[in-house]
Amino acid sequence: MQNDTLKPDSAAQIEAIIGYRFKDKSKLATALTHTSYSNEHREQNGSYERYEFLGDSILSYAVSKYIFNNLPDLTEGDMTKLRAMVVCEKALVRIMDDLKLHQFIRLSKGESKSSGGVRDSILADVFEAIAAAIFLDGGFREAEKFILRNISPFMQPDNNNAFEDYKTLLQEYVQQSNNSVNYCLVSSKGPEHEKTFLMQVRMDNKKIGEGRGKSKKEAAQNAAKNALDIILGGEGSHE
């Protein structure tokens, strides 16, 4: 059975990257430990799975609080869409890539070999696990600092990418239920140089949204936005 801590030099490197110094280094080690590694090395503290569960809620609360306090002009629907955008797997993977923390994640030899490295789902889980580890070691405020230091740049009003990629956001959302969507062209009207396209987005052969645009790409984005408005609007309703 191995010691459930990181090497001092590795711990110091990670702490410098994330901007937090742990009182209990074993919590940081747990946040970086995949189940396969924990089983292989019989570590007492186990893997990051329970931390990831807690970190998911901490992340959602911290982002919700930031949006509510700093973006007063957003509607409830836009607040919901923005939160979904910045806490999705794709966003967390991008942050982890920027931080270059993948090199410290502890995988079994078999997991590392079979997946060819660290899978995106693991990267996203580890970000949430680190947030939980900081929370457990130093409280919510420290965890919130870590989260917002990395996520708030994606939530600035001048960030033009915040709401542009509705197709990706919709795909991320439906994948949570193991579904997928497809787009189909319904019609194109007008002269060649000034056409208007109508696209539908479908899930399980049922229309869930539609949109118009001056190009098929724009129409597809508007269809995805329409679908999200319907889906998330329904979730946000209490009637």
Residues tagged active-site: 56, 128
- Tokens 């459930």, residue? 4
Residue 175 DSSP SS3:
helix
In what side-by-side order are the strands of the sheet with 182-189? 182-189, 196-203, 206-213
Residues 6+ positions from 160 with CB-CB distance below 8 Å: none
- Report in angstroms the alpha-carbon separations of 59 from 62, 76, 93, 99, 129: 5, 18, 14, 17, 10
- Given a contact cutoff of 8 angstroms between Cβ atoms, the answer to whether 54 and 132 are in contact is yes
CA distance 8 to 166: 43
Strands 182-189, 196-203: pairing is: antiparallel
Q: Give strand pairing partners of 207.
A: 202
CA distance 123 to 48: 11
Residue count (the chain): 239
